[in-house]
Amino acid sequence: MKEIFCTSLELARRIGCTHVSVKKLIERHKKHEAFGNLNIEKAGKMGRPAKVYMLTESQTLFLVLLMDNSKNVLKEKIKFIKEFFENDRKIMNELSKSR
């Protein structure tokens, strides 16, 4: 089954905050059992490459639950949940068709 990822850059863009803020939140809570293993990639072609986290569905949801409920954050929390549920539904339909 294919794992769905959201990068820390994408999360920052959608929530409307800086990538640095998202990375600080990850660093602050990365030892929590809800995170599990964190996948990290390096991004950027010039200068020092930036650390970008490849977040699983549960890691993304855990992070957005930790964020303050500003108007934009709340809107994006709802979108993330709907998107993840929709992806899960599609995967389950594909699995049931292949049996």
Burial of 90 per CB tally in 10 Å (0-12, 13-18, 19+): exposed
Pairing between β-strand 39-43 and β-strand 5-7 as defined by DSSP bridges: unpaired
Retrieve residue 47's tokens: 């200068």
16-37: per-residue pLDDT in tens?
Answer: 899 999 999 999 998 888 778 8
Range of the domain at 32: 5-97
Which pLDDT does position 2 carry in this prediction? Answer: 60
The pTM (predicted TM-score) of the whole model is 0.75
Q: What is the number of structural domains in the chain?
A: 1
